[in-house]
Amino acid sequence: MKKKRKKENHKEITIYDNNDTTQWIDKDKPLTLEDLGFKLPDVPPTQVISIRLPTELVNQIRVLGSERDIPYQALIKLFLSEAVQKFKKKAS
């Protein structure tokens, strides 16, 4: 059953490779992601930031992460989250 579906998908993909599909595109009405059934989040769930940390601190965090079998970036996020929660409790 899986092989048949895989062959059908491959056949469908190669149809686009071997045939002119420009007739299906209306330049006067470009499609949006929503038209295709996709919705991107308004705000990404995470953001990439750049922060300079002392090498010794990064090495210590890496060691702690390794001891706990946690990637050091995840450990940094955990530390920051805990610190924010403590700060919030202290402020209220």
User: What does the DSSP 8-state code read for residue 42?
Assistant: S
Share of the chain above pLDDT 90, in %: 46
The domain ranges of the chain are: 2-91
Q: In the block, which residue shows the tokens 């919705």? A: 39
Opening angle at CA 83, ends 86 and 88, nearest 5 = 35
Q: Is the pLDDT of residue 32 over 90?
A: no
Share of the chain above pLDDT 70, in %: 85
pLDDT in tens, 50-86: 999 999 999 999 999 999 999 999 999 999 999 999 9
Q: Report the length, in residues, of the chain.
A: 92
Residue type, 55: T
Q: Tell me, what's the pLDDT at 45?
A: 84
CB 31 within 8 Å of CB 42: no
